[in-house]
């Protein structure tokens, strides 16, 4: 095992520098690993299995004593309680709106920086784009909304800005009326429209859109999990 | 009779618990994330070797990573968990928890190597599987000669870095939290994100020389704070 204290206080600047680097890396790797483990559990249902109690392992060995009827009953009862507790826990989990809120704001949307179709960016559009990527949603919204003519792309980014401002009625309006289903944004449109509707207390309409997200489409897993959440 | 009923009940409950987990996992894993409009044809050979990432998306992912944004990396690589874990289980009869640990540890090394510029677009899936195999085998103390040179290089890199003990790392974490905002950003960008001082200078809109001096001051502050936090 390395001695961090010794290395950090070394008179050799190279050793000291390496110690700072490795120390910081190990601290932040640990945090990142915990974050990923949490995401694996939340998004993919993957987690470590709980180790079985040593006593139970010993008793289950074929060479050991025959487990008494009472112990079998106790195991079955414990499992039954666990299953009911699991079901209860799932039922008392976050509501569809809480869950939608978590999913919708988990990642900050980013504009890739190029207009589909390779058109030249106007100064006004560029300012809106920069504001969008900086999370300056009000400026981004005003900038995209003022584009003439309003294309599916500008409407989509205006809607996303409105969404980030929690102006769900405006986001719903733009996504419904200005981003056509046949546009290249259709998969994103469905996800944001559904979550905006849910967060705007139009849960039934939101779920209807969620059910239209097909296997393999963007946010399919999240859509399925939302559909399973309680209203 | 009573005993048979109880055994039956036991296996039924175990089956019930397992199947509910599997269902949840299946639903999530079916959702192969999709990236913007530049997603290559998933049926194409190159795409399938690179988690359906186009080269452009890979470059964007790398750039984001270098700027401290782990989201794209996380999105692309966590989706490979089942593939990697299943591979370790079927190839080496790995226990679930060992395969799970090997996957997460490998991902950390993969991220680090990407930042070092040692991972390039080509066959990311093969590399990830190789690295996870090598990591798993090392973890359980087995040796193999079936790994590629690249995977062995990664192994060597990983072996060079010895872990510090928990108490020391906790003290360092506490010390890091006490740094001012500029210092924590600067040290993180340089030591964890692997950004060169010239790039940091540009990002922070300062001269490279000022950033170099600032980094030294921040490093010394961190060491002083660590010495106050850590008591043997």
A184 contacts in chain B (CB < 8 Å): 37
Q: Is CATH 3.40.50.150 the right assignment for the domain spanning A96-228?
A: no
User: How many whole angstroms separate alpha carbon A152 and alpha carbon A183?
Assistant: 7
Which tokens in the block code for residue A116?
Answer: 């589909």
- Which residue matches tokens 């001051």? B217
* Helical segments of chain A, H only: 4-8, 13-44, 54-60, 69-91, 96-104, 123-133, 137-145, 152-164, 168-177, 186-199, 203-210, 220-228
> Among B28, B34, B135, B194, which would you mutate to test the A interface (most chain A Cβ atoms within 10 Å of its Cβ)?
B28
- Which residue matches tokens 């949307």? A109
ipTM surpasses cut 0.90:
no
B7 to chain A nearest CA, in Å? 7
* Helical segments of chain B, H only: 2-30, 45-49, 55-66, 71-78, 81-92, 96-115, 124-139, 149-160, 166-177, 181-187, 197-204, 208-229
Cβ of residue A44 closer than 8 Å to a chain B Cβ: yes
> Among A3, A7, A18, A23, which would you mutate to test the B interface (most chain B Cβ atoms within 10 Å of its Cβ)?
A23
Interchain CB contacts (distance < 8 Å): A and B: 161
Which tokens in the block code for residue A183?
Answer: 């546009």
Query: Quick count: other Cβ atoms within 10 Å of Cβ A128?
Result: 27
Query: Out of A34-43, B43-52, B193-202, B204-213, which region has the weakest mean confidence (pLDDT)?
Result: B43-52
Distance between start and end Cα atoms, chain B = 61
User: How many whole angstroms separate alpha carbon A93 and alpha carbon A99?
Assistant: 9
Domain ranges of chain A: 2-91, 96-228
From residue A118, alpha-carbon distances to A77, A115, A121, B40 in Å are 65, 6, 9, 19
At what angle are helices A152-164 and A137-145 packed, to 10 degrees? Answer: 150
**B173 to chain A: nearest residue by CA?**
A27
A221/B28 CB distance under 8 A = yes
In sign, the C-alpha dihedral spanning A2, B160, B183, B220 is positive
B20 vs A10, more confident? A10
- At residue B43, the 3 state secondary structure works out as coil
Cβ of residue A56 closer than 8 Å to a chain B Cβ: no
A23 contacts in chain B (CB < 8 Å): 164, 168-169, 172
pLDDT, tens only, A163-221: 999 999 999 999 999 999 888 888 889 999 999 999 999 999 999 999 999 887 888 88
Closest CA to A79 of A50, A54, A44: A50
pLDDT, tens only, A19-28: 999 999 999 9
Average of per-residue pLDDT values in chain B: 78
Q: What are phi and psi of B8, to 5 degrees?
A: -60, -45
User: How many whole angstroms separate alpha carbon B50 and alpha carbon A9?
Assistant: 44
User: How many whole angstroms separate alpha carbon B136 and alpha carbon B102?
Assistant: 5
Which tokens in the block code for residue B65?
Answer: 């990573």
């Amino acid at each position: 095992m390395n001695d961090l204290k010794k290395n950090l206080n070394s008179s050799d600047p190279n050793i000291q520098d390496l110690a700072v680097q490795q120390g910081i890396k190990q601290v932040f790797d640990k945090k990142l690993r915990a974050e990923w483990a949490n995401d694996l559990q939340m998004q993919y249902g993957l987690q470590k299995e709980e180790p079985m109690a040593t006593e139970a392992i010993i008793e289950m060995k074929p060479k050991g004593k025959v487990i008494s009827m009472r112990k079998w009953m106790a195991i079955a009862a414990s499992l039954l309680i666990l299953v009911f507790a699991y079901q209860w826990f799932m039922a008392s989990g976050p509501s569809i709106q809480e869950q939608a809120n978590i999913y919708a704001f988990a990642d900050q949307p980013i504009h890739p920086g190029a207009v589909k179709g390779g058109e030249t960016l106007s100064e006004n559009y560029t300012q809106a784009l920069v504001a969008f990527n900086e999370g300056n949603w009000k400026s981004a919204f005003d900038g995209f909304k003022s584009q003439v003519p309003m294309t599916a792309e500008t409407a989509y980014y205006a809607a996303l800005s409105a969404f980030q401002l929690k102006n769900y009625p405006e986001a719903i309006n733009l996504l419904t009326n200005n981003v056509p289903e046949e546009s290249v944004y259709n998969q994103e449109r469905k996800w944001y429209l559904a979550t905006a509707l849910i967060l705007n207390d139009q849960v039934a309409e939101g779920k209807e859109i969620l059910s239209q997200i097909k296997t393999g489409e963007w946010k399919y897993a999240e859509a399925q999990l939302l559909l399973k959440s309680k209203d | 009779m009573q005993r048979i009923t109880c055994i039956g009940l036991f296996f039924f409950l175990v089956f019930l618990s397992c199947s509910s987990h599997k269902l949840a996992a299946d639903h999530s894993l079916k959702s192969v994330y999709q990236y913007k409009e530049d997603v290559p044809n998933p049926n194409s050979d190159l795409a399938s070797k690179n988690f359906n990432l186009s080269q452009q998306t890979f470059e964007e992912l790398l750039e984001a990573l270098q700027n401290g944004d782990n989201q794209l990396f996380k999105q692309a690589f966590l989706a490979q968990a089942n593939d990697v874990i299943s591979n370790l289980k079927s190839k080496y009869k790995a226990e679930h928890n060992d395969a799970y640990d090997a996957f997460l540890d490998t991902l950390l090394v993969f991220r680090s190597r990407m930042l070092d510029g040692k991972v390039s677009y080509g066959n990311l899936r093969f590399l990830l599987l190789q690295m996870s195999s090598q990591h798993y085998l090392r973890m359980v103390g087995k040796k193999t000669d079936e790994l590629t040179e690249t995977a062995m290089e990664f192994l060597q890199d990983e072996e060079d870095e010895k872990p510090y003990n928990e108490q020391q790392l906790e003290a360092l974490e506490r010390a890091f939290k006490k740094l001012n905002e500029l210092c924590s950003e600067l040290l993180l960008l340089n030591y964890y994100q692997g950004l060169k001082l010239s790039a940091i200078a540009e990002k922070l809109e300062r001269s490279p020389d000022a950033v170099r001096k600032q980094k030294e001051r921040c490093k010394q502050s961190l060491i002083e704070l660590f010495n106050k936090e850590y008591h043997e």
